[in-house]
Amino acid sequence: MATHGEVLKKVSQLAVLNAELVEEIASLEQAKTDLDQRFETNLSCLYQAIRELPVVIDVLMLETPPPLKLTFVVRTVMADISRVEGDMRASQQEASKGMIATADLACKAAEHIELCSSVGRTVSDAQRRTKSSLDESNRRIASAQQEIADTNRMSSEMASQARRHDENAEGNSILFWTTFWIPIVNAVTIPVSLSLEALTAEIVTKSAEKVSLEAIRYDLDNSLARLNLAQGEANERARHAAGLRDQAKLLMDNYGIVTTRVKDVLRALDHLGVGEEVTAEGWNEVRTLGLLAFKGLLVALKERELLAPECSGVAEMLEGLKGLEDKACGAWELEF
């Protein structure tokens, strides 16, 4: 059972944890902004390479192997795309770290919410115990006050009877009548006096306890208010962290799909060696796989809503090429 001080300490710690979450979220927000900017930069470089694709597409549309100088043009464009792929791969690694960090933060925020709930239950239990103790103190004070009132009333009645006895005894010559009530009054008065002292002491003690309990209840009420605020903030932090996690996953998905398609382009055209003759037999496979890889890249960008307007013409050009998939079946088996 947590003490009053331990409960207050736990509530204060929640505020500290909230502040730490705010700092972590701010740090990850900045990291995400940097990664988004890097992704935009990577895409801009990729768009630049895509705008150069019509030259490559014209070469790949030739029915016969191109002259070496045209092959060199293709390889130059491929070198640009290769640099983009390298930059995107490095950025993807950073994005992967960011996704792990945001996932960890989301878990931490969820645990923080559970901690808030646990502390809330502890505060509620402490409030119930404090209220019960206050009720008991009030009951004991009221009981003692009632006993004092009853005792005072009884003492008053005894005093009245003693006075009447004295009045009756004034005209009586028998000593017995004047001394009869003395031991009786003493027998009653002394215990009553002691009882009043005990009851008064209990009232003082319980009143002091009540003051202390009222202070504790005040602290607990304030703590509960602060806890509710902390829990609301924790819920907001958790939603924010979950949003960052989802955005990081989306960024990773975009990187994964785009880099895979770029690698397909590089792999499909990798054997267009400068200074080497391309045989007529292999040319059909080379150009089919190259065109199909280009088309796959542009389609992926379009489906992910990442295709820049200035690249739409190239996408339409590639989408207009029919039957590439059928032609590529044998080529894929040969190549891979």
Mean pLDDT, consecutive 10-residue segments, the chain of 336 residues? Answer: 74 82 87 90 92 85 75 79 91 88 88 86 86 88 83 72 61 50 51 72 83 84 83 85 89 92 86 58 79 90 92 85 56 37
Task: Let me know how long the chain is.
Answer: 336
Predicted local distance difference test score (pLDDT) of residue 329: 45
Instruction: Bin 275: left if φ > 0, else alpha if -120 < ψ < 50, else beta.
Output: left
| Contact by Cβ (8 Å): 189, 154 | no
Dig out the tokens for 149 from the structure. 């009132």
Which has the closest alpha carbon to 104: 28, 169, 3? 28
Residue whose entry in the numeric block shows the structure tokens 């001080």 = 5
Full 3-state SS string of 201-234: HHHHHHHHHHHHHHHHHHHHHHHHHHHHHHHHHH
What six digits make up the tokens of 317? Answer: 């050009």
pLDDT at 275: 43
Residues in contact with 76: Cβ distance below 8 Å, sequence separation at least 6, in sequence order? none
Crossing angle, helix 4-51 and helix 181-268, to 10 degrees? 10
Predicted pLDDT of residue 28: 87
Tokens 């933060």 belong to residue: 105
- Residue for token pair 């088996």: 333
* CA–CA gap between residue 282 and residue 335 (Å, rounded): 10
Q: What is the maximal distance between C-alpha atoms in the chain?
A: 157
Predicted pLDDT at 221: 85
Q: Please report the pLDDT score of residue 37 as a whole number.
A: 92
Instruction: Mark out the alpha helices in 170-180 (DSSP H runs).
Output: 175-179
Q: What pLDDT shows up at residue 171?
A: 54
Residue 288 identity (one-letter amino acid)? T
pLDDT at 161: 66
Which sign does the torsion angle of CA 173, 179, 184, 189 carry? positive
Q: Which of 311, 260, 323 is nearest to 54 (CA)?
A: 311
> d(Cα 169, Cα 213) in Å, to the nearest integer?
55
Q: Which of 295, 231, 320 is nearest to 17 (CA)?
A: 231
**pLDDT given at position 175:** 47
Using CA atoms, how far apart are residues 306 and 250, in angstroms rounded to an integer?
12
Look at residue 45 in the predicted model and tell me its pLDDT. Answer: 92
**Residue 228 C-alpha from the chain's centroid:** 15
Residue 98, token pair as written in the block:
């960011």
Give every CB contact of residue 124 below 8 A, 6+ residues apart in sequence.
224
pLDDT at 262: 92
C-alpha pair distances (Å), 179 with each of 182, 185, 191, 318: 6, 10, 20, 130
State the angle between helix axes of 280-303 and 312-319 in degrees (0 to 180), rounded to the nearest 10: 130
CB neighbours of 297 closer than 8 A, spacing ≥ 6? 50, 258, 261, 262, 264, 265
Tokens 């005990």, residue located:
198
